[in-house]
Structure 1
Amino acid sequence: MLSWLQPKANITASVPQREAYEIILFALLIIGSTCSFLYINCVLLYTLRSKPVFCETSRYILLYNLLIADTVHLISSLLLFLLSSFKVKSTYYACGFLVLVSVFTQSISPLTLAVMSIERYVAVCHPLRHASIFTVRSTGIAIAVVWASAVIHILIRVFMLVYVFTKISLNLHMNELCSKETVFFAPIFNDFEEAHASTLFLSVGLAIIGSYIGVAHTARSASTDKVSARKALQTLLLHLIQLSLILTASMFSTIIIAIARTEDRSTLFRIYNVCYVFLSILPRCLSALIYGLRDQTIRPVLVKNLCCPWKGSICLNKSK
């Protein structure tokens, strides 16, 4: 993922020993944090399939779908990071597959957040109709629409790539490191990226903000459950923060390239890693924190699964 920075700043070539140690330290921190959150996500995924209530409730079904997308995105992002860190070059097809998986899962998350926000709005503002609107079947249909939208997005990118390669020859052995920018290198992809990101995040943002306003208005009613309304408002606000981070992450390349014009190599490397943690890793871990720690139904089961992954653990022996 650093290959597109090399014309401005060759971070890993001919660096002093102190900077080499710094690169290793950042890599260990990023790999360690990513693996830790991957473990939490996987345990939460297991938790959401451990009890019937999680499999039959719309909010938990939507959360499971969001976690699947975030977990796959974390894995693909980590692989791209490792390939760049160790300067491993791959074929265009292998790199393209990894990048397409990353882009595919990246577009699923904001759409799922929109559906989850609408679900919270219906739960608070129309509690008597919530069970009939958000059934297991309707939730499955909503998830299918989300995935279909992401598939269409990927197909458009693939067709654009095919068109580009009718104009130029394809070099299967890439000379640069694998990244999104080296796969979608033509200027036409920049315009498409801006149009898609603007449309996607504007529509999702309006859905979340509209849900927040609706819940806030309903919370003033005397007949409303104040505790549920307050929790829903907090959840929607966290969804908005999560969406903002994902939106900023979609402009990651533009941000780093702009900084590369004014900063030196060492400063750019530090900014890159900080941005990678807060824009690529953190948004994919907020789902586990928002629901895993705040939801009273999930939290005890999740903590038990995190502490006691097998029957013979000390934790379980103490609890008996």
Structure 2
Amino acid sequence: MSDTNRPLTNSTAGVQLQGLLGIVLLSVVTTLPCCAFLLINGTMLFTLRSKPVFTETSRYVLLSNLLLADTVQLAHNQSMFLLSACGLKMLYPLCATLSALYSLPHGVSFLTLMLMCIERYVAVCHPLRHAAVITLRNTSVAVCVLWGFGSVNCLIQLVLMLNMHFADVQSMQMSDYCGRSSVFLNESADLYDKASTYFLFASAAAAVSFCYIGISVAARSASSDRGSAKKAGRTLLLHLLQLGLSMSSLIHGTLLIAVTPHLERVLAINIQVFLYICLIILPKCLSSLVYGLRDQTIRPVLMLHLCCRHRRFSVISVIQTNPKM
């Protein structure tokens, strides 16, 4: 009897070992770039708080707010990915709360990009009014309004997701992993989520397009600073690219549903990881790379902080390798 069960036991142990190795591999492949981007974003945030020129300039305050929202989204996405990779399933109210909280920084990102475009438009097209309109106080109030609006939107989503008869649900434990496709049990919550997201995207895209057209017209005017206008125009194009990448998280699930069912399991998992890194993780680091490398004021300070942090890590690793030092 024991000899008959031994091959089955060995086979089961082998499958479990392969599953464990797959989980570890997925976690490492996605966590390493995520940690690298979190390090870059954190260094960028520290840079923007290190000097008065950054804390007292409106466009840098808006950039800091955008980076904060992107960093929160990045950490949230990776945490949820690791929970799903480990096979952990949540209670529905907890999953609904986490999903609703994710909409807060997601909406703030759209609105902050809109304000950054408007700030560049005023700076180029109405330079004499820029100092009076785009003040630090007005910018701080606008940032508070953004987070307040996002909080209201988050609360509405949570109420709609929890507005269901739990008595009709067999168990509060979710049968699937926590995600956007599994948390919207209520049709009204799904409809509101799509409507609010598309409205924010359409509003931000319209603002970017309007500002870009206005700056392009100003760039052709002989009375304007053409160099500054062209630079601002390129910045707005990058903002438009950022909007598109921010929307990429919404098509991530659709692509997976359309592509992976027709592929082998290993290839499907590889494509899932690739799309997750390209559509979810990478866009959240774009702001740091764009502004950190293009802005002549930020670049030297950012590179200094990155180099100092790299040297610090090198010294720590040497000390750990040679404890006698």
Q: TM-score range by the shorter chain?
A: 0.7 to 0.9
Partner Cα distance (2:310, 2:205) in 1? 41
User: What TM-score do you get using the length of structure 1 for normalisation?
Assistant: 0.85
SS in 2 for 1:32: helix
Counting only pairs closer than 5 Å after superposition, residues 23-102 of structure 1 correspond to structure 2 as 24-102=24-102
The structure with more helix, counted as a fraction of residues = 2
Which ranges in structure 2 are unaligned for 5 or more consecutive residues?
Answer: 1-13, 316-325
Partner Cα distance (1:159, 1:201) in 2? 23
Partner Cα distance (1:115, 1:67) in 2? 14
Residues 117-145 of structure 1, C-alpha deviation per residue, up to 9 Å, x if partnerless? 11111111111111111111111122122
The Cα shift of 1:311 comes to: 10
Aligned position for 1:289: 289
Aligned position for 2:268: 268
Residues 149-187 of structure 1, C-alpha deviation per residue, up to 9 Å, x if partnerless? 211221211121232236734733333322233322333
Q: Which protein has the larger Cα radius of gyration, Structure 1 or Structure 2?
A: 2
Q: RCO higher in 1 or 2 (8 Å CA, sep ≥ 6)?
A: 1
Amino acid at match of 1:97: T
The Cα shift of 1:68 comes to: 0.9
Amino acid at match of 2:196: H
Partner Cα distance (2:64, 2:314) in 1? 29
SS in 2 for 1:174: coil
Aligned position for 1:110: 110
Contact 1:74 1:284 in 2 (8 A): yes
Aligned position for 2:3: none
The yes-or-no answer on 1:187 pairing with 2:187 is yes
Amino acid at match of 2:255: I
Partner Cα distance (1:296, 1:179) in 2? 40
Compared CA separation, residues 132 and 182, structure 1 to 2 (3 A): same
Amino acid at match of 2:216: A
Residues 50-81 of structure 1, C-alpha deviation per residue, up to 9 Å, x if partnerless? 11111111100001111111111111111001
The Cα shift of 1:267 comes to: 3.4
SS in 2 for 1:296: coil
User: What TM-score do you get using the length of structure 2 for normalisation?
Assistant: 0.84
The yes-or-no answer on 1:142 pairing with 2:146 is no
What is the root-mean-square deviation of aligned Cα atoms in Å? 2.7
Contact 1:197 1:250 in 2 (8 A): no
Residues 205-244 of structure 1, C-alpha deviation per residue, up to 9 Å, x if partnerless? 0001111111111011123222222221111111101101
The Cα shift of 1:245 comes to: 1.3
The yes-or-no answer on 1:163 pairing with 2:163 is yes
Partner Cα distance (1:72, 1:313) in 2? 24
**In the comparison of the two structures, how many residue pairs are matched?**
302
The Cα shift of 1:23 comes to: 6.2
Aligned position for 2:9: none
